Amino acid sequence: MPRVSSDQLAARRQQILDGARTCFADHGYEGATVRRLEQSTGLSRGAIFHYFRDKEALFLALAEEDAQRMADVVAEQGLVQVMRDLLRAAEAGDADRSWLGTRLEVSRRLRTDPDFRGRWQAQSAALTAATRERLERQAATGSLRDDVPAPVLARYLELVFEGLISHLAMGLPADDLDAVLDVVEHGVRAAARQQA
C-alpha cells in the first residue's frame, strides 16, 4: 500500500484550490458547476469532495487563503502597498485577476446570503485588525496624520481598497490609479513627513 505523505496531500489540496479559483472567477459561484470544477482542477468530483465537503466549503477555503495572505502583506507593508500590488497584477493580466474574482464573489454573496455573512466575519476582521495595528504603529512614530483618529483612517483605506477591487474586477482601465493611490497614501500621512 503506497504511503501518501502530508506534503502530497497538501499539494493536492492546493491544486484543487488553484483550479477552483480560476473556475469561480470565470463563471461566478453559481456558474462553477461540478463539471467545470473537474475541468479546471483536472481532478474527479470524488477527489475534489474528498478534500472539501462541498462547493461552499471550497469557496470559503479560498476566501480564507486570500484573507490571510492579505493580512500578512498589510502587517508588513500596509494596505496601500497591497493595493499597488493588485494594480501591478491587474496590469500584467496575471493570475491575480482570479483573486479579484473570488473577492467580488464574496461581496455578492454577503449581500444575497445572510448565512454567509457570519462565516465571513472572522476573515474580514483579520484584515481590519492588521490594518489598524499597522496604523497605530505609524501613529506611535509620528508618521500618521493626527487630526483624524487612526480607526477612521483604517476604515478609509479599507473603503478605497474595496473600491479598487471592484474597479479591477470589472475590468475597468487601471490608468491614473497609481496617481490615485498617491493621493490616498499622502492623505493618511503626517503633513510634515510627506514623501514621494
Please give the residue ranges that form the binding site for a second copy (CB under 8 A).
25-28, 30-31, 101, 104-105, 107-108, 110-112, 117, 124, 148-149, 151-153, 155-156, 158-167, 169-172, 176-177, 179-180, 183-184, 187
Rounded Cα gap, residues 97 and 183, in angstroms: 24
Rounded Cα gap, residues 103 and 98, in angstroms: 9
Rounded Cα gap, residues 194 and 188, in angstroms: 10
Q: Which of 77, 98, 97, 75 is nearest to 88 (CA)?
A: 97
Instruction: State the minimum distance, in angstroms, from the CB of residue 163 to a second copy.
Output: 3
Judged by CB, which is closer to a second copy: 51, or 161?
A: 161
Amino acid at 119: R
Instruction: State the minimum distance, in angstroms, from the CB of residue 7 to a second copy.
Output: 35
Instruction: State the minimum distance, in angstroms, from the CB of residue 182 to a second copy.
Output: 8
Cell digits of residue 20 = 477552483
Amino acid at 60: L
Instruction: State the minimum distance, in angstroms, from the CB of residue 112 to a second copy.
Output: 5
* Sign, Cα dihedral of 140, 145, 148, 154: negative
Judged by CB, which is closer to a second copy: 142, or 163?
A: 163
Judged by CB, which is closer to a second copy: 42, or 171?
A: 171
Judged by CB, which is closer to a second copy: 43, or 74?
A: 74
